[in-house]
Amino acid sequence: MDPQQEHTWPDLKQLGSDKRDLADEAMYRSLKSKLFDEAYPPVQIGRFRVVQTLGQGGMGVVYSAQDLQLGRLVAIKVIRDDRLREGAKDRARLLREAQMQAKLSHPNVVQIHEVSESDGGLFIVMELVKGATLREWLDRESRPLAAILERFVEAARGLSAAHQAGIVHRDFKLANAMVGEDGRVRIADFGLAVADQSQQETEPERTAGSASAGHTSKHAGTPTYMSPEQVRGRDCDARSDQYSFAVALTEALFRRPPPPAIERLAARTGALALPADPPAPQWLRQALTRALALDPADRFPSMAALIDVLVETPKRRKRGALAAGLVVALAGSTALGATLFTETARPECSQYEGRITATWDERKESIHAAFVATGLPYAEQSWQRTSRMLEAYAKDWADTAVSDCEARQLAAQPLERYFTQSAACLGRQREAFTTLLHELAAADSTLVASADKAAAGLSRPEQCRVSPTMQLVDGPDAPTNPRVRELLDRGNLLTISHEGRDAVTFLDQALAEIRSHADVAGEAEALLLLGRAKGRLLGDGPGAAKILSEAYDRANAADYSALKWEIWNELARVQALVFDAPGEARTCLDHAKSERHPDPQTAAAAIATAESEVLIAEGRPLDAVALRRQALATLKALCPPDHPDVMLARLSLAAALGEALQLQEAHEMHRQLLSDLQREYGREHPLTARVELNFGLDLYELEQPAAAREALEHARTALVTTYGERHLWVAKTEVALAQLDLDDDAITRAIERLDAAMATYEVLVPPTHAERITALIVLAEAHRMNGQTPGALAAYRELLDIHDADPAHSSVDLFATLANIGDALCVLGQCAEALPYFSRLIGLKSPETSSEPAMKALPLRGLGLVALAEDEPQMAVILLQRALAILEQAPLERLGLREIMIETMRALADAHTALRSKPQRARELRRRAAELESAN
């Protein structure tokens, strides 16, 4: 028999069984040929002749083979049949993923040449890399940090290229990266390989979707390297590969990986402490900690962003060392300029002073006229204060520009980049100054009210001065297009002026134009302003968070590092103030603190203020007070006492004192601040009115209603003078006055005020705004007190709709809202419809039930009322009796429990009467209810 016909290559389906693999079969045939002098055909897979086994893993076996057609050595992976458990579906998926990778050509990715099937089996032909795995490369000898980072950056570039092609690896580890004999790293097994012989494979639960790119494969994952989302069986994306990459880099640096994600998830803390030894740079530890975050949103937005940190940070440190080496030269040049420039400096340096002062001189009269034309009672005071600030700014700018110009002429050539960067910085500041003057020349009342704050918001020229500590950047780290800068400056003015809707509308339009200029840095800054306007002015937390996250991505893409800390700080404020999520806010603050701060002292004050909001959200108002005192001290050291930021910091500190229930000190601080503002700004200025509003609220808390009303009425009048009837601060004042009206039983007037406030909120803010919710609660109470139960019910139902639309971020008290809806329905004779609302109360925790156990009686009482209405008096007796037993243990003067007890007693008496049992008990309950009512 012809041996060529007798022996054929094994069926690929047999791989993974106890039969010989292809390499063993090839060796067996060769040995048999030599022993028996018979011709046996070589083992082939298609046109590829098997040479030897290279490795075996969870997905199959890899062989080296000779391509008989092209005459080259290749690697062939033969997929194990048991990895195709779902037959055609799995085969189609693997083919699709391999074909996607075959389209990817990158020096740091193993190139796939061919994907094919034969005899029902599946095999993949790829580039044969001669060398070692990254693990073997690390184990061979001790590697310096620079060499490790160089190899891993190459690996990261391979992953990044794959991500850009839509491919997610899902199992990056040291064994899946090859270091070739040429020293170049190549990534293997994208979306295909899972485990090697040294790692036990796991099979996380499959998601509802397929295991295609972007989803977790049921067979993918090595426990040590698996991301948290992969452990949970959730969708994986590029950030999952980032996590695995960070695990591998941590293992390479510290000779042991971090705890597996499954352990960190089980611990629930999420905290990660990297080993202290061997030592590693702090910037690298911070980068790893961020890349290893349990929440993908907290990691770097892309592998490219992580690569920037790994590559650019060492460069910046080297530049920093170079700058330190140039300190003597730079200091010498500056000193020489200070003493000799009068004889040696060129005359053109003086042009800088004339350039900015001429702009100011041209505009100041028209600005003054615009201020006076508003007719505001404080217009002249505002002009005097703003003009002083602008005059001083122009002088500071000119001094800095002239000083740098003169030093530049005397400095050595290596310092040229410092002066170029300084000139660009000063140029941007001058453009912002010019834009502000242009806007002030056409100022309306809102801008006149905020003019000094706008002037104070100009970046300090000192930041542009050449110094040994100046951080050089490789490219422009801020928008340079003049039109883009103009749009940003105008958007910032609208935000400063508290024109929420106008600011959002303008910035939405500006974004489209900025994007048309392809100015990524400008886009990032515009998104920050838009997020700030939505969060601070409109109270739109979800909208602000989404936009600020996008701002960070764009800032990262533009390497606009000076903006990143502001974005994180603003996100922290949103999480703390709008979402009441202090944990997430702290994460944002950690990022804010780790970013570069061009003006460290100002940044420190801003971050401290944001952190104080987090402390309040955490229920630590006393710590918040301490932090705001610190922020105020920092600002006082930087700014004059009448600076707007100092005034606002004082106002912020007083608010924190109120949160800490230190009402007398808060009241005294408001009194002193009010006195200072009346002297400096005038009594009718809106900043003065804001403080007077808070002062009036203090008086209300201190039970001085007459004085409170006087302060609030005047604050309202002053605010309307500047902003008109439709403004958030006016609405807030109306709500405060409505509460005073309710106390005075002036219910009709209170409802009129509340309707006016709600009309303002409808126009200016989303339904979820905290102040609008407060107004809605007070309006419901006013309707209830006025006997207008349908109006109260409508308000309560709207509150429930707001809560149910976004429960995770709702500030609505669900417990109180459900109880009020049920009570209102019962009052309207629709008690049967209240059942679902009272039922939701059972087991529901509320702020009140933890501090006031008597509130647990409310759902029992409510269900008892429903049972009575449904003609089930026996059930009603059981429920109402239990409710009454709880109420009888509570002090009746608290939380309006006296009225609740009275109603419960009467309902229980009605239930006994309906049962025609215990008439004496029914009479006793009615008698006690009457006594309580008369005593009230």
d(CA 642, CA 679): 10
Pairing of strands 48-56, 60-67: antiparallel
Tokens in use for 417? 């980049």
Q: How far is CA 488 from CA 19, 464, 802, in A?
A: 71, 19, 34
Secondary structure of residue 553 in the 3-state scheme: helix
CA neighbours closer than 13 Å in the CB half-sphere of residue 244: 32
Q: What is the DSSP code string of 130-154?
A: -EEEHHHHHHHS---HHHHHHHHHH
Dihedral (Cα; 424, 425, 430, 432), 10-degree rounding: 120
Secondary structure of residue 603 in the 3-state scheme: helix
Query: Among 78, 87, 43, 75, which residue's Cα sits nearest to residue 57?
Result: 78
Pairing of strands 177-180, 72-79: unpaired
Tokens in use for 786? 């006025």
Q: What is the DSSP letter of 109?
A: B
d(CA 248, CA 481): 42
Q: Could you confirm whether 171 is annotated as catalytic?
A: yes
Q: How far is CA 559 from CA 422, 474, 716, 828, in A?
A: 18, 9, 45, 62
Query: Among 104, 90, 89, which residue's Cα sits nearest to residue 60?
Result: 90
Tokens in use for 469? 């500590």
With beta carbons less than 8 A apart as the criterion, state whether 383 and 458 touch: no
Secondary structure of residue 100 in the 3-state scheme: helix
- Stated as kind and residue range, the H or E segment containing 758 is helix 747-764
Query: Among 164, 168, 184, which residue's Cα sits nearest to residue 108?
Result: 184
- Candidates 21, 81, 171, 452; catalytic one: 171
Q: What is the DSSP letter of 413?
A: G
Q: Alpha carbon 40 to chain centroid distance?
A: 67
φ/ψ of residue 118, rounded to 5: -155, 130
d(CA 220, CA 191): 8
d(CA 60, CA 79): 5
Active site residues: 171
